Protein backbone atom coordinates (compact mmCIF):
# COMPACT_ATOMS: atom_id res chain seq x y z
CA UNK A 1 0.00 0.00 0.00
CA UNK A 2 1.33 3.43 -0.95
CA UNK A 3 1.77 5.89 1.93
CA UNK A 4 3.50 9.11 2.90
CA UNK A 5 5.68 9.00 6.02
CA UNK A 6 6.20 12.12 8.09
CA UNK A 7 9.91 12.70 8.67
CA UNK A 8 10.95 13.66 12.21
CA UNK A 9 12.15 17.07 10.98
CA UNK A 10 8.50 18.04 10.31
CA UNK A 11 7.27 17.13 13.80
CA UNK A 12 7.89 20.63 15.29
CA UNK A 13 6.12 22.29 12.33
CA UNK A 14 3.05 20.09 12.72
CA UNK A 15 3.06 20.36 16.53
CA UNK A 16 2.82 24.15 16.15
CA UNK A 17 -0.60 23.72 14.56
CA UNK A 18 -2.27 24.50 11.30
CA UNK A 19 -4.93 27.17 10.80
CA UNK A 20 -6.36 29.15 13.74
CA UNK A 21 -5.38 27.87 17.19
CA UNK A 22 -7.91 28.39 19.98
CA UNK A 23 -6.17 27.88 23.30
CA UNK A 24 -7.85 27.06 26.58
CA UNK A 25 -10.06 24.66 28.47
CA UNK A 26 -12.76 22.49 26.88
CA UNK A 27 -15.88 24.60 27.52
CA UNK A 28 -14.24 27.97 26.77
CA UNK A 29 -12.65 26.65 23.59
CA UNK A 30 -15.94 25.21 22.37
CA UNK A 31 -17.79 28.42 23.12
CA UNK A 32 -15.35 30.36 20.93
CA UNK A 33 -15.36 27.63 18.28
CA UNK A 34 -19.18 27.68 17.98
CA UNK A 35 -19.09 31.27 16.71
CA UNK A 36 -16.36 30.48 14.18
CA UNK A 37 -18.07 27.30 12.94
CA UNK A 38 -21.49 28.92 12.30
CA UNK A 39 -20.46 30.12 8.87
CA UNK A 40 -18.91 26.83 7.75
CA UNK A 41 -20.38 24.90 4.85
CA UNK A 42 -19.58 21.65 6.68
CA UNK A 43 -17.60 20.69 9.79
CA UNK A 44 -15.23 17.74 10.15
CA UNK A 45 -13.72 16.80 13.51
CA UNK A 46 -10.39 14.96 13.49
CA UNK A 47 -9.89 13.27 16.85
CA UNK A 48 -12.06 11.39 19.32
CA UNK A 49 -12.39 14.09 21.97
CA UNK A 50 -13.03 16.84 19.40
CA UNK A 51 -15.65 14.70 17.66
CA UNK A 52 -17.53 13.99 20.90
CA UNK A 53 -17.30 17.60 22.08
CA UNK A 54 -18.40 19.12 18.78
CA UNK A 55 -21.29 16.69 18.52
CA UNK A 56 -22.42 17.71 22.01
CA UNK A 57 -21.96 21.48 21.57
CA UNK A 58 -22.29 22.18 17.85
CA UNK A 59 -24.40 19.39 16.40
CA UNK A 60 -23.91 17.15 13.43
CA UNK A 61 -20.35 16.87 12.18
CA UNK A 62 -18.33 14.43 10.14
CA UNK A 63 -15.76 12.63 12.30
CA UNK A 64 -12.37 11.01 11.79
CA UNK A 65 -11.52 9.00 14.91
CA UNK A 66 -9.23 6.19 16.06
CA UNK A 67 -10.47 5.21 19.53
CA UNK A 68 -7.40 6.70 21.21
CA UNK A 69 -6.69 9.86 23.16
CA UNK A 70 -3.09 10.82 23.91
CA UNK A 71 -2.18 7.41 22.45
CA UNK A 72 -4.25 5.64 25.12
CA UNK A 73 -7.05 3.31 24.09
CA UNK A 74 -10.44 4.86 24.92
CA UNK A 75 -12.63 2.81 22.62
CA UNK A 76 -14.43 4.04 19.56
CA UNK A 77 -17.60 6.00 20.24
CA UNK A 78 -19.33 7.31 17.17
CA UNK A 79 -21.92 10.06 17.53
CA UNK A 80 -25.50 8.77 17.29
CA UNK A 81 -26.01 10.65 14.00
CA UNK A 82 -22.93 9.10 12.33
CA UNK A 83 -23.91 7.45 9.07
CA UNK A 84 -22.40 5.69 7.29
CA UNK A 85 -19.41 4.30 9.16
CA UNK A 86 -16.24 4.08 7.06
CA UNK A 87 -13.00 2.30 8.00
CA UNK A 88 -9.36 2.58 6.92
CA UNK A 89 -5.86 1.70 8.08
CA UNK A 90 -3.35 4.43 8.80
CA UNK A 91 -0.22 3.72 10.88
CA UNK A 92 1.24 6.37 13.18
CA UNK A 93 3.26 9.08 11.37
CA UNK A 94 1.81 8.07 7.98
CA UNK A 95 -0.92 8.98 5.53
CA UNK A 96 -1.91 5.87 3.57
CA UNK A 97 -3.58 5.79 0.17
CA UNK A 98 -6.38 3.78 1.85
CA UNK A 99 -6.99 6.52 4.44
CA UNK A 100 -6.74 9.24 1.76
CA UNK A 101 -9.43 7.49 -0.30
CA UNK A 102 -11.62 7.10 2.81
CA UNK A 103 -11.29 10.84 3.57
CA UNK A 104 -12.43 11.61 0.01
CA UNK A 105 -15.42 9.27 0.48
CA UNK A 106 -16.30 10.95 3.80
CA UNK A 107 -16.29 14.34 2.03
CA UNK A 108 -18.42 13.00 -0.84
CA UNK A 109 -20.96 11.64 1.65
CA UNK A 110 -21.04 14.95 3.53
CA UNK A 111 -21.79 16.77 0.29
CA UNK A 112 -24.82 14.46 -0.03
CA UNK A 113 -26.08 15.56 3.40
CA UNK A 114 -24.72 12.67 5.48
CA UNK A 115 -22.59 12.91 8.62
CA UNK A 116 -20.26 9.92 8.35
CA UNK A 117 -17.62 8.71 10.78
CA UNK A 118 -14.29 7.39 9.54
CA UNK A 119 -12.81 4.94 12.03
CA UNK A 120 -9.06 4.59 11.64
CA UNK A 121 -7.10 1.52 12.60
CA UNK A 122 -3.86 3.19 13.63
CA UNK A 123 -3.70 6.95 14.07
CA UNK A 124 -5.85 9.74 12.62
CA UNK A 125 -3.81 12.85 13.52
CA UNK A 126 -2.16 13.48 10.14
CA UNK A 127 -5.43 13.03 8.24
CA UNK A 128 -6.05 16.73 8.74
CA UNK A 129 -3.75 17.20 5.73
CA UNK A 130 -5.70 15.19 3.11
CA UNK A 131 -8.96 16.50 4.58
CA UNK A 132 -7.87 20.11 4.03
CA UNK A 133 -6.52 19.34 0.55
CA UNK A 134 -9.74 17.61 -0.56
CA UNK A 135 -12.48 19.49 1.32
CA UNK A 136 -14.71 21.91 -0.58
CA UNK A 137 -14.26 25.64 -0.13
CA UNK A 138 -15.91 26.85 3.08
CA UNK A 139 -15.60 23.61 5.07
CA UNK A 140 -14.02 23.81 8.52
CA UNK A 141 -11.70 21.14 9.87
CA UNK A 142 -11.34 21.02 13.66
CA UNK A 143 -8.66 18.99 15.42
CA UNK A 144 -7.44 18.60 18.98
CA UNK A 145 -4.15 19.91 20.30
CA UNK A 146 -3.66 18.16 23.66
CA UNK A 147 -2.58 20.55 26.37
CA UNK A 148 -3.24 23.58 24.13
CA UNK A 149 -6.80 23.60 22.81
CA UNK A 150 -8.03 23.07 19.25
CA UNK A 151 -7.04 23.99 15.73
CA UNK A 152 -9.63 25.25 13.25
CA UNK A 153 -8.92 25.37 9.52
CA UNK A 154 -11.40 27.13 7.23
CA UNK A 155 -10.74 25.63 3.80
CA UNK A 156 -9.79 27.94 0.97
CA UNK A 157 -7.15 27.84 -1.76
CA UNK A 158 -4.39 29.29 0.45
CA UNK A 159 -4.76 26.64 3.18
CA UNK A 160 -4.96 23.90 0.56
CA UNK A 161 -1.63 25.16 -0.82
CA UNK A 162 -0.12 25.25 2.68
CA UNK A 163 -1.27 21.67 3.36
CA UNK A 164 0.16 20.59 -0.02
CA UNK A 165 3.52 22.22 0.81
CA UNK A 166 3.60 20.35 4.13
CA UNK A 167 2.80 17.07 2.35
CA UNK A 168 5.66 17.67 -0.10
CA UNK A 169 8.02 17.25 2.87
CA UNK A 170 6.71 13.72 3.54
CA UNK A 171 8.52 10.65 2.20
CA UNK A 172 6.65 8.27 -0.16
CA UNK A 173 6.88 4.70 1.08
CA UNK A 174 5.37 1.33 0.28
CA UNK A 175 3.75 -0.45 3.23
CA UNK A 176 2.83 -4.14 3.30
CA UNK A 177 -0.86 -4.83 2.67
DSSP 97-165: HHHHHHHHHHHHHHHTT-B-EEEEEE--GGGHHHHHHHSPTT-EEEEEETTTEEEEEE--HHHHHHHHH
Helix (H), strand (E) at residue 173:
strand 171-174
Alpha carbon of residue 109 to chain centroid: 16
List phi, psi (to 5°) of 151: -110, 140
What's the whole-model pTM score? 0.92
Q: Average of pLDDT values for 54-70?
A: 85
List phi, psi (to 5°) of 20: -85, 130
* pLDDT given for residue 74 in this prediction: 61
* pLDDT given for residue 97 in this prediction: 98
pLDDT confidence tier of residue 99, bands split at 50, 70 and 90: very high
Q: Average of pLDDT values for 75-85?
A: 76
d(CA 47, CA 50): 5
Q: Average of pLDDT values for 134-138?
A: 97
* pLDDT given for residue 33 in this prediction: 82
d(CA 15, CA 79): 27
Res 106 pLDDT > 90: yes
Q: Where are the domains of the chain?
A: 20-169
d(CA 138, CA 27): 25
* pLDDT given for residue 72 in this prediction: 62
Q: Average of pLDDT values for 127-135?
A: 98
Peptide bond into 14 cis (omega under 30): no
| 3-class secondary-structure state, position 39 | coil
Q: Residue 146: CB partners within 8 Å, gap ≥ 6?
A: 69, 70
For the chain, what percent of residues have pLDDT higher than 90? 64
Amino acid sequence: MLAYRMPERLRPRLAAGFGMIIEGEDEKVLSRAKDILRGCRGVIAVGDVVCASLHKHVGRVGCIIDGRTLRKEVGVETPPHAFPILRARNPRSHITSEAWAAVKELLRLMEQGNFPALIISGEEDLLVIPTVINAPEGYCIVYGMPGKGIGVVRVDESVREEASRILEGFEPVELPD
